[in-house]
Amino acid sequence: MMSPYMPHRPHWCATSDCYVCTIRDSALFAGLREAELAVVEGAIEEVPLVPGRWLYRGGEPANAVFTVRLGLVKLVQYLPNGDQRIVRIARSTDVLGLEALLRQPYQHDAIVVQRGLACRIPVEVLNELNIQNPGLHQELMRRWQGALSEAEAWLTELSTGSARQRVIRLILRLADARGVGHAPLFNRKDMGAMLGVTTESASRAVAELKREGLLKEGAEGFTCDRHALETLITD
């Protein structure tokens, strides 16, 4: 039986090639020059994201940060009563494990939700690049602030109001910005853990929105009318 844990240096990881990365322009190393990219060559690993497996676990020594290239990863915090709360969903170009820069243990469990690919970047590589390129430090701080802002938004937007309101805010937050939004599909248990409501409450709220024609659910995810949902929230 395959272990759900993804070790930090798995034998099936490949070395990442930053020169041909499809998200390089928006990823952590977007501002690096060619000579600086040479510093990281061979040191960054591509980690396949397999649904249900851990990228890292809370409390472990943090010696690397991760950039999500494709897929979704949930950050999970466990409450004293054993319940879990999903405090963030990381998507393409998001950076995880920034606490490693302070040599602190990882604060959450990072569990793969949707198949994809991530890059594991050792802290030593980042420290070396910080010396050569002060702009990288600024970019890291910007990413850190972005993660804090995202966590604050999840706390304020997704933890208040009725279950229906929370589900609508979640769909809008995860959907793309075009008129008919497409949002990734989550099971009802995960939705409840994101919103601080029971699985049953999340299920009822989704069912109501589907009956009203405001939300469609398919194998690839949710489809919604952003304008209609935004109107419900603001009315």
Is residue 229 assigned to a domain? yes
Split at pLDDT 50, 70, 90, the class of 149 is confident
- Whether residue 109 is found in the same domain as residue 223: no
Whole-angstrom Cα distance, residue 212 to residue 142?
A: 40
- Whether residue 83 is found in the same domain as residue 197: no
Rounded to whole angstroms, what are the CA distances from 81 to 78, 157, 190, 217? 8, 24, 17, 32
- Whether residue 98 is found in the same domain as residue 132: yes
Number of folded domains in the chain? 2
Q: Which of 142, 157, 172 is the last residue of a domain?
A: 157
Identify the pLDDT of residue 4.
53
- Whether residue 128 is found in the same domain as residue 221: no
- Whether residue 108 is found in the same domain as residue 20: yes
- pTM score over 0.75: no
- Whether residue 88 is found in the same domain as residue 28: yes
| Full residue range of the structural domain in which residue 190 is found | 163-234
Is residue 4 assigned to a domain? no
Per-residue pLDDT at 110 exceeds 90: yes
- Whether residue 120 is found in the same domain as residue 206: no
Look up residue 162 and give its two tokens: 């009725």
Whole-angstrom Cα distance, residue 157 to residue 174?
A: 13
Strand, helix or coil for residue 112: strand
Return mean pLDDT, the chain.
79
* Segments of 14-80 assigned E as strands: 14-15, 45-49, 54-56, 64-78
- Whether residue 178 is found in the same domain as residue 213: yes
- Whether residue 75 is found in the same domain as residue 167: no
